[in-house]
């Protein structure tokens, strides 16, 4: 068993590679020289010594389906039982510690959050929740060199080569524009950067230099806060409208209608379903089902719920942002009342 573990770990060890010997990379360098004015010598130096990031690569290599033994199936069933997916999802996302950290972040950056909320119409608690989930309020912005990671994912065979080649080109453009060394920027296993974990292409599309220091940096809380709000606004956030509301149905497991953030209904179409707390919302809704250990939670998701899924295409992600944000704001208000008394 120990030998198997050692061999597995060896397969994950990064190694240095000279990418200037790869024809596709040389063509990529030519584009950067012609279109971005990069120094060819500088690019050759960068690409000549890249640590191939094998752990990130594993996430994007197509997985070969293998027939599992009964013993393997039994282990998987114990690790991932049929029910309780929502409980497992939020185990490390919505915790008392994460809520307290969110309240502290809100207190520290309240003036910026208030100004951004007024400007973009996105409630501050959801901005704080996204930053909390993405990077634990800046404590975990990633441990992988972005240049090496994007180079690996752009040129080593995987299912998203085209996407990562575009992101690498944007990253190089960003590095040159911001006058930063691309070999000194760390991010996620996919190359996402900063407190809000933007991919390089999102810098240009949604990044905001909110503190006006003429340098967009998502490592700076003010820029990250405004950039999250700008992202949500440009993806359709509706000022003053709700996000979600808990619904009631008969039974413990919900199967009456198809659920998910992509399908919409008018409330009048849904029979034997009612809201636990009435809300002032007139548009189409999404039925969101959260699979818990003992029953399915059912929620109505408004347009703003769908907008959060543009940040991460997952109903569970959007619901974790909503619930974490709500809990942060509740505790924030409670602390203000206690302080006033």
pLDDT tens digit sequence for 212-230: 998 899 999 999 999 999 9
| Mean pLDDT value across residues 158-174 | 96
Sequence-distant (≥ 6) Cβ neighbours of residue 259 within 8 angstroms: 286, 287, 288, 289, 298
Instruction: Give me the CATH number covering residue 203.
Output: 1.10.8.350
Q: What is residue 179's predicted lDDT score, i.e. its pLDDT?
A: 86
Q: Is 297 a member of any domain?
A: yes
Instruction: Give me the CATH number covering residue 294.
Output: 1.10.530.10
| Mean pLDDT value across residues 236-240 | 97
Tell me if 331 sits within 8 A of 312, measured CB to CB: no
Q: What is residue 1's predicted lDDT score, i.e. its pLDDT?
A: 43
Say yes or no: 203 and 278 in one domain: no
Say yes or no: 261 and 334 in one domain: yes
Say yes or no: 104 and 44 in one domain: no
Burial environment of residue 148 by CB neighbours within 10 A (0 to 12, 13 to 18, 19 or more): buried
At 50 the three-state DSSP class reads: strand
Q: Is the pLDDT of residue 13 over 80?
A: no
pLDDT tens profile 51-88: 999 999 999 987 767 777 877 767 767 767 788 999 99
Q: What is residue 81's predicted lDDT score, i.e. its pLDDT?
A: 74
Residue 68 and residue 146: Cα distance in Å, rounded?
36
Instruction: State the pLDDT confidence band at 193, using cuts at 50, 70 and 90.
Output: very high
| Mean pLDDT value across residues 121-133 | 98
Q: What is residue 73's predicted lDDT score, i.e. its pLDDT?
A: 65
- Active centre residues (catalytic): 134
Instruction: State the pLDDT confidence band at 338, using cuts at 50, 70 and 90.
Output: confident
Q: What is residue 64's predicted lDDT score, i.e. its pLDDT?
A: 67
Say yes or no: 171 and 247 in one domain: no
Q: Is the pLDDT of residue 256 over 70?
A: yes
Say yes or no: 327 and 214 in one domain: no
Residue 144 and residue 150: Cα distance in Å, rounded?
10
Say yes or no: 135 and 147 in one domain: no
Residue 191 and residue 57: Cα distance in Å, rounded?
11
Q: Is the pLDDT of residue 127 over 80?
A: yes
Q: Is the pLDDT of residue 8 over 60?
A: no
Q: Is 73 a member of any domain?
A: no
Say yes or no: 161 and 283 in one domain: no
pLDDT tens profile 78-111: 767 788 999 999 999 999 999 999 999 999 999 9
| Mean pLDDT value across residues 23-38 | 95
Q: What is residue 30's predicted lDDT score, i.e. its pLDDT?
A: 96
Domain boundary among 234, 251, 269: 234
Q: Is 324 a member of any domain?
A: yes
Three-state SS across 294-334? CCEEEEEECHHHHHHHCCCCCHHHHHHHHHHHHHHHHHHHH
Between residues 191 and 340, which one has the greater pLDDT?
191
Tell me if 291 sits within 8 A of 83, measured CB to CB: yes
Which range marks the domain in which residue 185 is found? 10-60+141-234
Strands 244-248 and 274-275: antiparallel
Say yes or no: 154 and 300 in one domain: no
Say yes or no: 274 and 200 in one domain: no
Domain count, the chain: 2
């Amino acid at each position: 068993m120990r030998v198997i573990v050692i061999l597995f770990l060896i397969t994950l060890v990064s190694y240095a590679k000279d990418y200037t010997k790869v024809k596709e990379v040389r063509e990529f360098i030519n584009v950067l020289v012609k279109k971005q004015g990069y120094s060819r010598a500088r690019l050759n130096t960068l690409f000549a010594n890249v640590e191939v990031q094998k752990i990130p690569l594993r996430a994007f290599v197509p997985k070969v389906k293998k027939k599992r033994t009964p013993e393997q199936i039994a282990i998987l069933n114990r690790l991932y039982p049929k029910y309780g997916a929502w409980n497992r999802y939020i185990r490390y996302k919505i915790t008392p510690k994460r809520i307290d950290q969110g309240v502290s972040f809100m207190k520290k950056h309240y003036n910026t959050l208030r100004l951004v909320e007024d400007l973009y119409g996105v409630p501050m608690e959801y901005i704080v929740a996204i930053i909390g989930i993405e990077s634990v309020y800046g404590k975990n912005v990633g441990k992988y060199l972005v240049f090496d990671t994007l180079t690996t994912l752009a040129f080593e065979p995987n299912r998203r080569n085209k996407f990562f080649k575009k992101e690498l080109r944007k990253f190089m453009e960003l590095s040159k524009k911001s006058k930063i060394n691309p070999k000194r920027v760390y991010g996620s296993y996919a190359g996402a950067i900063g407190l809000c974990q933007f991919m390089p292409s999102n810098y240009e599309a949604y990044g905001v230099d909110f503190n006006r220091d003429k340098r967009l940096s998502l490592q700076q809380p003010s820029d990250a806060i405004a950039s999250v709000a700008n992202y949500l606004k440009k993806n359709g956030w509706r000022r003053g409208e709700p996000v979600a509301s808990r619904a009631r149905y008969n039974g413990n497991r919900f199967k009456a209608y198809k659920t998910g953030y992509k399908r919409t209904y008018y409330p009048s179409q849904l029979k034997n379903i009612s809201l636990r707390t009435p809300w002032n919302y007139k548009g189409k809704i999404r039925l969101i089902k959260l699979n818990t250990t003992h029953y399915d939670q059912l929620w109505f998701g408004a347009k703003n719920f769908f907008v959060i899924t543009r940040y991460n295409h997952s109903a569970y992600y959007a619901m974790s942002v909503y619930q974490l944000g709500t809990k942060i704001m509740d505790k924030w208000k409670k602390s203000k009342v206690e302080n006033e008394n």
